[in-house]
Each structure stands twice: as structure tokens, then as C-alpha cells.
Amino acid sequence: MRGRSRALVAAAVVLALLAGTVAYLVTRSSGTPAASHPAGTTHSGAQSPVPAGYLTASGTRIVDSSGNVVQLQGYNVTGLESTNPEGSNIRAGACNAGWRPLTTAEVGQIAAYGFNSVRLPISWGNLEPTAPTSDGSGSLTHHWNAQYLAALDSEITQLGDARLKVILDMHQSSWGPSFSTPQTAKRPGCPGSGMPTWLNPQAAQEKAQTAACNFYAGKTEPGVPGTAWADFVAAESYVDGHFAGNSTVVAQDIVNEPYCGRTSTNLTGFYGLVAPALHRANPNILLMLEDRETPGSFKVSPPPPVPNIVFSVHLHEDYWSAPTAGQSPLPFSGQAALAADLARATEWNVPLYVGEFYAFDATGNQNGNKQPDQNWTADTAAFLKYAKDNNIGWTYWAWIQKSDPTVQPEVTPAVQAALRNG
């Protein structure tokens, strides 16, 4: 194509995208829900049917608004969870600790993989970087980050237009920017992401895991307005209520990896407070509860008595059934771990969802992993068959935001082929 023709086509595409964005903003401002997509339709190259409307937990299955059984399949998509103390999109220095939404081209790339959903990590620290203030009577005023919300709105719109359902994930990694990532991380010594800095006034005297475990035990540090749990409920209820009426957003993963090993926590009490509040804010979405680091460390009993609960786990075990050359045996293989998870979900009579897995470290990028699985392709195929046979949804970790989106170190052609063909 000649240069002038290319320019004209590109201009037409940009105008069409701008028109769609303006139409969405008008719709949102008028309070009209964003349109859902018809059941069973697929986009170009699609593997997974597009679920209709909202999703509902029906026993151990997820169904769409037309009654079709849905297996969530897709990728985690990074970018909006990266957090600096100001909650800003300024990405300075080697760590680039500032959020950035997807571009239209990036959304197109993700949609072209052919799955039906994305798990979208977001950050409380970006949503509410400034501490709530008291009016003197005990009531708190929360200060939401309008710029971040606008970026999130835009990204959700683009993903919905690409016929992808969105699972929001209130993410934390190394707890928040008050703390640094460990030496085993892909980017050691960088700020953590997730929780606002004002939640941990004592950060200089504690470790990230201590702050996290105290939070899940229901402890609030001196100097924090209100209580830690109530502040969290306010933030996540605000987000979920913000998207009420938009059937692109079908689920909320309440908090990423609430792991504290053998430390005493109160996850049952935490979810018992948070889940009912989120259901009131948006009764149409699935509520995903994470509850393990290993199958022997389940903490939640019983699940909160609200509808649309989904049991969510991360499958970070290094092999499916048996170690390969150079790997040491683990306490649980991936297969044993997922079987225990499935038994847990069946006991609760709720669906099971794997929010993160690495295809058994196909690309050698799993944090701290020094023992890659030589049999990862067959192991991935075995996992995907098990998931399909047992109605277990999954999202791969991860499509990682890069300056060049065509280079995806964890979505290699081999990984994509394994996910599509498994």
C-alpha cells in the first residue's frame, strides 16, 4: 500500500475509535449501561465463545445470562496495578513504578489471542493515594483518584468493545510502594504495588509480610483513619459500584494472594465483612475468594453467606504430576494441589477458578524458580484438560506491559499454541 493510502486508512481508524469512545462516555454520563454482546458470538480467530451478559455461580459451574455454561479463559493483563506513593501515572526511573492503561493496539493484540476474558489487576494505592479525612464526628471522606478512574473506565470500555469479559483483581505484590520487592523478584528492590502508603505508617519498622499478616488479622496501625478493613471495604465497594450496570465487568477477585504461611490471620472474618458489602454495591458480579498458598494452608471456613461466590487459587506449582530432570519433588504436584482445590470448591458447592498459572514455568520467568519444567507442554495440556473436564476457569500470568507490546516474554508463540491447543 502506498504511503498516502496508509495514512488515510490510519486516519479513518483513529476517527472511528474516537467516535466509539465519545459514544461510550455519553452513555456512561447518562447512566445507561454499556451494551453487552450476544451469546455464542466470537471475534476474529476466537477460540472461546463470548459469554452473554453477567455471569452467575450455579453450583460448581458458572453460567451466562442465556444459561450457557462458561469456562473463563484468558490472560492477566498488567499495567494498572503498578503503584507509586502518589498513585500517579509517572513512570520514572528503572523501576517504572507508575500505572499506564492499555493502548488500542494492545487491546487488539490481547483480543486476537482468542479467549473470552482478562483478569485485570488494579491498585487501591492508585485508587486512593490520599488518606481519607474525618469530619470530626467519626465519618470519613474518601478522596478517589479521578485520573486513575478515567483510565480504568477507558480500558474497560476498550476490552468490552473487543468482546472480552473483565475480572477485576484488587492486586498487591510486596504489599505496596512502602515496601520493596525481594531479591527473588524479577525486578528486585523495586517498590511493591497495591496498598496505599498511608495504610502503613510504621512501614520503616516492619516487613511487607508483617504488614500484610497484620491486615488480614484485622489490625489497624496507629495513625490510619478509620480501620484498615473498613477503609478497604469502602474502596472496593466504590469500584464495584462504579461498574454496576456494565456487564463487561463480571467478577471481582477480592484481594490478590492473601498468604501469610502459618501466621494467625482472620480471613474468614475479612471475607465475611467484605463480600456482603461488595454484593450490595454490585449484586451482578461474581466474588472471587483466594484462600491458599499450598493446599495445606486453607484458612476460610465457612465461606461468606452471599450468592455468586467463586473459590480462586493460583497454581504456581512447578510441574503437573511428577518432577522432570533437575527438579526436586514438591510437597504437592500441580495435579494434587488442584485436586485438593476442587474438593474444597465442591464442599462449598461453588465454582473453582485458577487466577494465575505459568504453564509450569514455560518461559523460565516464575519468581525465584531455578527448576524449569522440561515437560511443560504436556503438563500444560494435562492441566487444561483437567480444567475443562471439571469446569475450572483459568487466566495465564501474564500479558506484561512493555514499551514494545509485540515482545511478550511470557506469551511466546509456544505458550500461546499450548494454551490454544490444550
Which pLDDT band, with edges at 50, 70 and 90, does 87 fall under? very high
Residue-level pLDDT at 319: 93
307 C-beta neighbours (distance < 10 Å), count: 12
Closest to 124 in 3D by CA, of 96, 99, 156, 92: 99
pLDDT, tens digit (0-9, with 9 covering 90-100), for 32-52: 333 333 333 333 344 678 899
Q: What per-residue confidence (pLDDT) applies to 237?
A: 98
Q: Which amino acid is at 92?
A: A
- The tens digit of pLDDT for each residue in 194-207 reads 999 999 999 999 99
Q: Are 402 and 78 in contact (CB under 8 A)?
A: no
The model's confidence at residue 370, banded by pLDDT at 50, 70 and 90, is low
Q: Is the pLDDT assigned to residue 372 strictly greater than 60?
A: yes
Contacts of residue 33, Cβ cutoff 8 Å, sequence gap at least 6: 27, 245, 246, 247
Mean pLDDT score of the chain, rounded to an integer?
88
Contact 277, 233 (CB under 8 A): yes
Q: DSSP states of 23-90 as a string?
A: HHHHHHHHTPPPPP--TT---TT--SPPPPS-EEEETTEEEETTS-EE--EEEEE-SSS---TT--S-
pLDDT level of residue 1 (50, 70, 90 thresholds): very low
Q: Is the pTM of this model over 0.85?
A: yes
Q: What number is the average pLDDT over the span 309-314?
A: 97
159 pLDDT above the threshold of 90: yes
Grid cell digits, residue 286: 461474581
Provide the pLDDT for residue 42. 38
DSSP assignment of 220-271, as one string? --TT-SS-HHHHHHHHHHHHHHHTTT-TTEEEEE-SS----TTS---HHHHH
**How far is it, in rounded angstroms, from Cα 64 to Cα 26?**
27
DSSP annotation of 128 reads: -
Give the span between the Cα atoms of 174 and 325, in whole angstroms: 31
pLDDT bucket at 284, cuts 50 / 70 / 90:
very high
* pLDDT surpassing 50 at residue 133: yes
Higher pLDDT pick, 318 / 175: 175
CA 295/CA 161 separation, integer angstroms: 38
Sequence length of the chain is 422
Percent of the chain exceeding pLDDT 70 equals: 87
The proportion of the chain whose per-residue pLDDT surpasses 90, expressed as a percent, equals: 73
Mapped onto helix, strand or coil, the DSSP state of residue 216 is helix
What's the whole-number mean pLDDT along residues 279-291? 97
Instruction: Please tell me the predicted confidence (pLDDT) of residue 107.
Output: 97
- The least confident of 90-94, 113-117, 163-167, 389-393 is 90-94
Look at residue 18 in the predicted model and tell me its pLDDT.
36
Task: Look at residue 337 and give its three-state secondary structure.
Answer: helix
Residue of 266, 242, 237, 251 lying closest to 309 (CA atoms): 251
pLDDT higher than threshold 80 for residue 5? no
Res. 105: pLDDT tops 60: yes
CB atoms within 10 A of CB 5: 9
